[in-house]
Amino acid sequence: MQINTRVIAIANQKGGVGKTTTVVNLAAALSKMRRTVLVIDLDPQANATTGLGLQPQEGVSLYPCLIGTQQIADMIQPTPYENLNVIPSEVNLSGSEIDLAQRPDRLQVVRNVLQAIRDANVFDYILLDCPPSLGILMTSTLAAADGILVPMQAEYYALEGLGVMQNLIERLKANGANPALELNGILMTMFDARTRLSADVVEEVRTHFGEKVFETMIPRNVRTSEAPSFGQPVVFYDPSCRGAEAYRAFAKEFARRNPTRATAAVPNAEPTAPAPEAEAVQEVANDQIA
Ligand SMILES: Nc1ncnc2c1ncn2[C@@H]1O[C@H](COP(=O)(O)OP(=O)(O)OP(=O)(O)O)[C@@H](O)[C@H]1O
Ligand SMILES: [Mg+2]
């Protein structure tokens, strides 16, 4: 069976629930497991970009691809980490709302832009870091994804945000924009084992969503919140802290649920074949997409 690049959007229109932290650390942990990963930062705040150690640069983002002035392969940047690449964000990305609004094909724009890297099939995973909004860019991004991963903070109003996401998934399926879209899973973040509220919320979410909820939960952890100011994923900044441990466990669970070529090559095991270096991957991507 041919297993292609999995495109997963990490989204929740609620702000500050751990979307970017999850993208950065899931990507880092997967890359350590020798999966080739591309992070695309779609948030003009550029937190995923800086969290992976890069500075935003004008003209280097998905934006020029959306307006058709650049090829996506030319926007892929290596990070300091093997197997981990990023298409950074820039402030111009916020202008894409206006550009896209006027286009009849707006819901298909992101899908069309991503098609070249999907076809090249050089990445195991493409992780899309979405902004905390429900704008056109976000909707077009969800229309381009195979699945949506929703990070959710274990707090009282968490379920409301999830309802909005589910509604959006159903609408994108029903109107034909993305008939195959699925809720890939729900990840509980910033879990605080000492509070009754955290435990109650998790129980309620599990009752409603059953197996869609990942077994792994990410604890609230100071090292995890410090790591971005050093421009590093916590799994590299402090590999032994509880946050790093949790994100590694989550990456394993995620990879099990989302098999790719790397998994298929070595059934039931971590792949042992050396994966290509980030730059080599980028070259291949450039060649194949050009
Ligand atoms: N497990 C954790 N423990 C402690 N702090 C965390 C944890 N996860 C995230 N944080 C912190 O919480 C804040 C929000 O996290 P993050 O930026 O990942 O959320 P977000 O959903 O991407 O936010 P936005 O909606 O603004 O894009 C950040 O300061 C981050 O460092
Ligand atoms: Mg974010």
Q: 7-57: per-residue pLDDT in tens? A: 999 999 999 999 999 999 999 999 999 999 999 999 999 999 999 999 999
DSSP-derived 3-state class of residue 187: strand
Evaluate: CB of 47 within 6 angstroms of ligand 1: yes
Per domain, the residue ranges of the chain are 6-281
pLDDT tens figures, 103-146: 999 999 999 999 999 999 999 999 999 999 888 999 999 999 99
pLDDT of residue 275: 43
Smallest CA-to-CA distance from 141 within 176, 178, 189 is with 178
CA 10 / ligand 2 centre spacing (Å): 9
User: Which CATH superfamily groups domain 6-281?
Assistant: P-loop containing nucleotide triphosphate hydrolases (3.40.50.300)
pLDDT above 50 (res 267):
no
pLDDT of residue 263: 67
The pick from 21, 148, 155, 250 for probing ligand 1's pocket by mutation, whose C-beta has the most ligand atoms within 8 angstroms, reads 21
Residue 8 backbone phi and psi in degrees, to 5: -120, 125
The pick from 89, 225, 241 for probing ligand 1's pocket by mutation, whose C-beta has the most ligand atoms within 8 angstroms, reads 225
| pTM metric for this prediction | 0.91
Nearest CA, atom 2, ligand 1: 220
pLDDT above 60 (res 289):
no
| Sheet arrangement for strand 125-129 | 77-78, 84-87, 37-41, 125-129, 6-10, 147-153, 182-191, 213-219
Position 282 confidence tier, pLDDT thresholds 50, 70, 90? low
